[in-house]
Amino acid sequence: MFQIRHLLLSWMALAALSCSPAPQAGGGIGGTGSVATVSSGPVTKFGSVYVSGTEYDNTNTLYCIDHDPCTRENRLKLGMVVLVNGVRSTEYTTNKTLTRIAEKITYEETVEGVVQAVAADGLSLVVLGQVVSVNQKTVIDPALQGAAPHTLDTVVLPGAFVEISGFVTGDGTILATLIQQESGTPHYEIEGFVKNHDVAARTFEIGSLLVDYSSADIAEMPSPTGQLWNGSVVFVHGDRWSPGGPGPYGAQLTATRVKRQGLGVTDAQEAEVEDFITQVVAPGDFHVNNLRVQTTPSTEFEGGTANDLVLGAHVEIHGALVNNILQAAHVSFENETELESNIATIDPGAKTLTLIGFSGIVIAVDERTAINGEGGASRLEDLRVGDHLKIHGRRGAGGLLLATEIERAAPASKVKFEGLLTSASDPFLVVAGLTIDTTAIPDNGFKGHDGIVIGRNAFFAGPPRGKEVAVRGILAGTVAQWSSVSRKDLP
């Protein structure tokens, strides 16, 4: 879920920009113009500021970090999901982008509070009744890092006070892009979907958190007597929490402020948003967070098709914001595909490689691919056939898998493939274009999210297409022998 942030101080100026003619001439033929922009996504790189891979000039940016006064001091960190308002400078005759300028960047954490529990594998934790997962892209504070890469310390974290930025992916579930230890005066914050709104009791739930808003500032919410808030994504600030509430890790929060999340503007000539699909209204008509998105026959798709616009899909959307609806010109699927195996081939000229056990999948490397790990690897040229790699990427044009991160690990025979199901018909799974035959996987190898055995029939029951799965096994020569598969949407 992308973080959608309010930019109240600059709303008037940005609304004026968004309603002005486009482009705005700056010198006649061959001159320059500008259009208003709004974007939301994680900070992915510095040297300027990159948000979801898009570069913004931050020379004169105003930063509004958490609840501190806005300043010109850049205190952003990698992984922070931010809201950017600014302008795109264009060449007048071609509309070619010359530069993007961030006028204001706003950041609020997704959840902040005491860690109630940590999963034994170090891949998730619970804060304020929300299950927070990590993946290879999650930036983890070194003080909270587990023994294995991209995992959490199961000893240090329980009871720790943490700040987490990320995407709300469903009811009570968050994918973290940044987890860091918090110090100073505790305050509690949470973003998520409202359910079980009780107007008389002035309470509602987010995941396994019961929120009491009887004394809260709700000026930015619809009147609770005229409209239930169920289904809306809200940001809640509180001053007290306690264990106890719905679910095994229930919690209670006394709210001081509740506001509905939004981009802060209803119209912008250019909008870019990264988030997870949380509601599908009709084919090509869906929601990410509180934002409605609509596609047209001219919408371009990368890494998938219109048929892949399903619940839980991770997408980047580019288009125009018109009356609070994002008209999608381009949709890119961030399928969060993860692979682990040994290198089969490397083509330095084409900047591609293949892995043993993943026949037909060609992995592309570009200047944005982060390469690290054993032996100080930092470039494609540092890798050798036979190296054991952990790769994070997404589907690209022509069937390529675009690698966003490559980690060289210690030699091993493990093989893993994790991503969204394209199709599933017992015994076959299709994940990111790769067909996996599960015939050899025993019945006790079919598992749910917590590793509980669910069996083959339960695994294939219902419409598993669009769900995230992880298939694991070992290498036997040049063949992957799959031994288990899990569905993250099942208990």
Q: Tokens 């595909």 — which residue?
A: 337
Which residues are within 8 A (CB) of 305 and not within 5 positions of it... i.e. 6 or more apart?
none
User: From residue 329, how far is each of 55, 267, 294 by CA, in Å?
Assistant: 19, 15, 9
How high is the pLDDT of residue 359?
Answer: 78
User: pLDDT over 70 for what percent of the chain?
Assistant: 88
Statement: residue 423 has pLDDT above 50: yes
How high is the pLDDT of residue 434?
Answer: 79
| Rounded Cα gap, residues 365 and 488, in angstroms | 28
Statement: residue 451 has pLDDT above 80: no
Confidence of residue 20 (pLDDT cuts 50, 70, 90): very low
Statement: residue 335 has pLDDT above 50: yes
Confidence of residue 16 (pLDDT cuts 50, 70, 90): very low
Which residues are within 8 A (CB) of 220 and not within 5 positions of it... i.e. 6 or more apart?
6, 258, 259, 260
Q: Positive or negative CA dihedral for 123, 126, 127, 133?
A: positive
How high is the pLDDT of residue 135?
Answer: 81
* Burial (Cβ within 10 Å: 0-12, 13-18, ≥19) of residue 219: exposed
Statement: residue 98 has pLDDT above 90: no
Q: Beta partners for 436?
A: 429
| Rounded Cα gap, residues 414 and 339, in angstroms | 10
Strands 81-91 and 62-65: unpaired
User: Which segments of 139-232 are extended strands (E)?
Assistant: 139-140, 161-170, 173-181, 188-193, 195-198, 203-206, 209-212, 217-220
| Rounded Cα gap, residues 17 and 358, in angstroms | 49
Statement: residue 153 has pLDDT above 50: yes
pLDDT, average across residues 32-53:
88
pLDDT, average across residues 128-136:
89
**DSSP designation for 75:** -
Confidence of residue 2 (pLDDT cuts 50, 70, 90): very low
Task: Confirm whether 268-333 and 337-412 share one CATH topology.
Answer: yes
| Rounded Cα gap, residues 123 and 143, in angstroms | 16
- Average model confidence (pLDDT) across the chain: 86
Q: Nearest CA to 292 among 334, 323, 333, 315?
A: 323
Least confident of 32-36, 325-329, 380-384: 32-36
How high is the pLDDT of residue 166?
Answer: 96
Most confident of 192-201, 306-315, 392-401, 454-463: 192-201
**DSSP designation for 272:** E
Confidence of residue 13 (pLDDT cuts 50, 70, 90): very low
Least confident of 53-67, 196-210, 360-374: 360-374
Statement: residue 177 has pLDDT above 80: yes
| Secondary structure of residue 443 in the 3-state scheme | helix
| Rounded Cα gap, residues 171 and 244, in angstroms | 18
* CATH fourth-level superfamily of 268-333: Copper binding periplasmic protein CusF (2.40.50.320)
Task: Evaluate whether the domain defined by 415-487 bears CATH number 2.40.50.
Answer: yes
How high is the pLDDT of residue 484?
Answer: 94
User: From residue 90, how far is each of 61, 264, 318, 441, 476 by CA, in Å?
Assistant: 19, 24, 16, 55, 54
Strands 401-409 and 291-294: unpaired
Which residues are within 8 A (CB) of 71 and not within 5 positions of it... i.e. 6 or more apart?
62, 63
What are φ and ψ of residue 446, in 5° steps?
Answer: -95, 120
| Rounded Cα gap, residues 127 and 114, in angstroms | 6
Q: Which helix (H) or strand (E) holds 460?
A: helix 455-460
Statement: residue 463 has pLDDT above 60: no
How high is the pLDDT of residue 24?
Answer: 33
Q: What is the topology classification, in CATH, of domain 337-412?
A: OB fold (Dihydrolipoamide Acetyltransferase, E2P) (2.40.50)
Confidence of residue 170 (pLDDT cuts 50, 70, 90): confident
pLDDT, average across residues 447-471:
78
Confidence of residue 465 (pLDDT cuts 50, 70, 90): low
Statement: residue 12 has pLDDT above 50: no
Statement: residue 373 has pLDDT above 50: yes
How high is the pLDDT of residue 49?
Answer: 94
| Rounded Cα gap, residues 445 and 366, in angstroms | 36
Confidence of residue 418 (pLDDT cuts 50, 70, 90): confident
* Domain layout of the chain by residue ranges: 8-107, 109-263, 268-333, 337-412, 415-487
Confidence of residue 400 (pLDDT cuts 50, 70, 90): confident
**Residue 174 vs residue 423, higher pLDDT:** 174
